């Protein structure tokens, strides 16, 4: 269209964010509590100054736009500097998860082609062990020690910060984050400047993270996990305070939250459970929290209710690395204030609705061409598409999204008539019995409601008549007991009769993946010879 007159041309890049934060919220603090309990402080203006120094230091190393700059680090202010420094130089920040297994660490650094690694001294042993395997890393820099590598502060301290951010397209990649599936190699999700900026705007919304300049956020979620749920970007956009903590035990977090006026905590459900237990056991005052963000796995209803009784607004999000990560969130519908507590908890216990910019659908597990109705009953494979959703994994030879941009999440879910998402399982974990699907997650949720159950996993076992039948594998809490019969009657009250597991087996431990999830793959292998009585 050839029409004279237009709005301005800007590329939405991460440098816009840090410039804004330094200019409009320059004095707002970023606080880090280190493993030894000491605390250091910087500001958004300080982060910008240091990130510009890092841009100069990277250029001095010959790092060019598009080069990968890796971090292997927990949450702290210097890691935040590295986010803006690496992306501000036009580089691609690769946040490595130190909890991965060695073969995965080997694979991803080489696959990414990382040229620089900046790591915490706490991971020195890991670095020493992996260094012979990492072929592309030319420069090792340590965030907090000069003992075995160049100290980060010395590295950037040699520069004066008188530099310009790299220019380029908003469609340039700026971050790389690998997801460790339970099968095959980890896959790299390549975020773009644009997708991160749009995710930032969406995340700030009242019905998403609900962030403003008064927020003082402690993200317990690690910075190497799923774009850190977007906090390093979103906090800069609104001038929120960020508080980082090296130790995530409830007592330490509580003291820090009181000391720094943290009103916003973001963590997986176990973090919330531990916090509530600590508060209730010690009789301590609840920190000045007004917001609770949870994600990573479904938040138990009981925890939501307990938080709400403390006057804390709970945001329950769903997403994955491939969705930057926030795709849905359980926000307050129009009739929320007219509901009783039960009705309000019910809203927050599901995975919520799609943010503007994201679209969801479910398709039949057997016939993916058949789109399922939003009836709150039909469970199917969950697909997602939108402004900050992956199209193709890093270095993959074809798109992972289909031609209509639908990305298959690997989750099994149902959509309610109002668009609310309810996850029921992972696609590969559902159990197919007599042509019908049984949700392993629902069986597990029923079982862990028993006070003596520490962990439970349901898997399918081959069955001559029904194709598969579920068995439930249970770990008891130390010093506590529960019988098969007790569990069976508990389950019978919660699920359809034909879903009841054919066997319940008690074990000492259940295998986990590098990111701490139950490894159903390993569990199925362990029970490979298991035979059901027919």
Binding to a second copy by residue 172, rule CB under 8 A? yes
The span from the CA of 453 to the CA of 482, in Å, is 8
Catalytic residue numbers, as ranges: 179, 322, 432, 437
Residues 15-44 that bind a second copy (CB under 8 A): 16-17, 20, 23-24, 27-28
Is the N-terminal amide bond of 325 cis, ω within 30° of 0? yes
**340 lies in the binding site for a second copy (CB under 8 A):** no
The values of phi and psi at residue 20, to 5°, are: -60, -50
Among positions 110, 124, 136, 207, the unique one binding a second copy when judged by CB under 8 A? 207
**CB closer to a second copy, 12 vs 430:** 12
Angle at 182 between CA 176 and CA 187, to 5 degrees: 20
Which of 479, 488, 325 shows the shortest CA–CA distance to 409? 325
* Residue list 173-202, contact with a second copy (CB under 8 A): 173, 188-192, 194-195, 198, 200-202
Rounded distance, CA 513 to CA 484, Å?
27
Rounded to whole angstroms, the Cα distance separating 318 from 415 reads 13
- Which window, 269-277, 331-339, 502-510, 523-531, contacts a second copy (CB under 8 A)? 331-339
- Judge whether 60 and 68 are in contact, CB under 8 Å: no
In terms of Cβ atoms closer than 10 Å to its own Cβ (0-12, 13-18, 19+), residue 285 is exposed
Residues 390-409 touching a second copy, rule: CB under 8 A, are: 390-397, 401, 405
Name the minimum Å distance from CB 501 to a second copy.
37
Which of the stretches 250-258, 332-340, 460-468, 501-509 binds a second copy when contact is defined by CB under 8 A?
332-340
Binding of a second copy by 337 (CB under 8 A):
yes
387 is a site residue for a second copy (CB under 8 A): yes
Any contact of residue 129 with a second copy (CB under 8 A)?
no
Instruction: Assess 431 for contact with a second copy (CB under 8 A).
Output: no
Residue in 37, 138, 157, 213 binding a second copy, rule: CB under 8 A: 213
Residue 236, token pair as written in the block? 């800069």
370 binds a second copy (CB under 8 A): no
Give the nearer residue to a second copy in terms of CB position, either 92 or 317: 92
Hey, which residues between 298 and 327 contact a second copy (CB under 8 A)?
A: 324
DSSP 400-469: SS-TT--EEEEEEEEE-TTS-EEEEEEGGG-EEETTEEE-HHHHHHHHHTSTTEEEEEEEEEEETTTEEE
From residue 64 to residue 103, what is the string marking binding to a second copy with x (rule CB under 8 A)? -xx-------------------------x-----------
Closer CB to a second copy, residue 262 or residue 473? 262
Is 8 or 183 the residue whose CB approaches a second copy more closely? 8
In the bound state with a second copy, the residue whose beta carbon lies nearer, of 194 and 225, is: 194
Strand locations in 246-322, DSSP E? Answer: 264-267, 291-294, 313-319
Closer CB to a second copy, 142 or 189, in the complex: 189
Which helix (H) or strand (E) segment holds residue 243: the answer is: strand 241-245
By CB under 8 A, residue 241 contacts a second copy: yes
Q: Which of these segments, 50-58, 81-89, 207-215, 463-471, binds a second copy (CB under 8 A)?
A: 207-215
- Residue listed under structure tokens 């237990």: 277
Residue 376 in tokens: 């709150």
| 214 interacts with a second copy by CB under 8 A | yes
Indicate the residue among 408 and 486 with the shorter CB distance to a second copy: 408
Q: Are 200 and 186 in contact (CB under 8 A)?
A: no
Q: Which of 205, 279, 371, 452 binds a second copy (CB under 8 A)?
A: 205
Exposed e or buried b per residue across 444-476, where buried means at least 16 C-beta atoms within 10 angstroms of its C-beta: bbbbebbeebebbbbbbbebeebebbbbbbbbb
The residue range among 13-21, 153-161, 217-225, 265-273 that interacts with a second copy, by the rule CB under 8 A, is: 13-21
- 398 Cβ contact list (under 8 Å, min separation 6): 392
């Amino acid at each position: 269209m050839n029409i004279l007159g237009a709005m301005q041309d800007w590329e939405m890049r991460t440098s816009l964010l840090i410039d804004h934060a330094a200019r409009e919220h320059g004095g707002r603090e970023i606080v880090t509590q280190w493993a030894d309990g000491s605390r250091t402080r910087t500001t958004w203006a300080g982060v910008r100054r240091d990130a510009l120094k890092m841009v100069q230091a990277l250029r001095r190393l010959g790092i060019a736009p598009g080069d990968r700059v890796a971090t292997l680090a927990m949450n702290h202010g210097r890691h935040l500097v590295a986010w803006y420094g690496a992306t501000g130089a036009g580089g691609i920040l690769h946040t490595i998860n130190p909890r991965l297994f060695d073969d995965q660490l080997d694979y991803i650094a080489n696959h990414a082609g990382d040229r620089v690694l900046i790591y915490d001294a706490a991971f020195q042993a890991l670095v020493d062990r992996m260094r012979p395997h990492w072929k592309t890393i030319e420069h090792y820099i340590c965030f907090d020690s000069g003992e075995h590598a160049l100290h980060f502060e010395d590295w950037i301290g040699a520069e004066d910060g008188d530099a310009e951010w790299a220019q380029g397209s908003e469609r340039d990649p700026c971050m790389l984050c690998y997801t460790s599936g339970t099968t095959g190699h980890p896959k790299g999700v390549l975020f773009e400047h644009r997708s991160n900026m749009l995710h930032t705007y969406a995340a700030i919304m009242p019905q998403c993270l609900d962030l403003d300049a008064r927020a003082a956020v402690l993200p317990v979620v690690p910075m190497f996990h799923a774009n850190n749920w977007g906090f390093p970007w979103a906090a800069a956009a609104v001038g929120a305070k960020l508080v980082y903590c090296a130790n995530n035990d409830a007592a330490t977090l509580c003291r820090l939250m009181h000391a720094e006026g943290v009103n916003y905590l973001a963590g997986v459900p176990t973090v919330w459970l531990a916090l509530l237990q600590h508060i209730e056991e010690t009789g301590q005052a609840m920190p000045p929290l007004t917001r609770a963000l949870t994600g990573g796995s479904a938040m138990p209803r009981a925890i939501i209710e307990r938080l709400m009784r403390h006057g804390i607004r709970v945001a329950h999000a769903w997403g994955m690395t491939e969705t930057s990560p926030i795709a849905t969130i359980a926000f307050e519908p129009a009739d929320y204030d007219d509901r009783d507590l039960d009705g309000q908890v019910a809203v927050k216990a599901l995975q919520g609705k799609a943010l503007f910019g994201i679209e969801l659908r479910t398709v039949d597990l057997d016939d993916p061409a058949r789109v399922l109705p939003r009836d709150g009953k039909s469970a199917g494979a969950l697909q997602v598409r939108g402004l900050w959703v992956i199209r193709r994994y890093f270095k993959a030879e074809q798109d992972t999204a289909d031609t209509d941009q639908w990305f298959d999440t690997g989750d099994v879910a149902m959509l309610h008539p109002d668009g609310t998402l309810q996850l029921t399982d992972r696609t590969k974990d559902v159990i197919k019995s007599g042509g019908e699907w049984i949700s392993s997650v629902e069986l597990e949720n029923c079982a862990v409601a028993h006070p003596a159950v520490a962990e439970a996993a349901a898997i399918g076992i081959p069955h001559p008549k029904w194709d598969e039948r579920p068995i439930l594998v249970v770990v008891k809490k130390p010093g506590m007991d529960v019988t098969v019969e007790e569990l069976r009657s508990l389950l019978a009250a919660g699920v359809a009769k034909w879903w009841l597991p054919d066997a319940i087996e008690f074990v000492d431990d259940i295998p986990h993946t590098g990111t701490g999830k139950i490894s159903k793959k390993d569990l199925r292998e362990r029970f490979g010879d298991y035979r059901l009585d027919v």
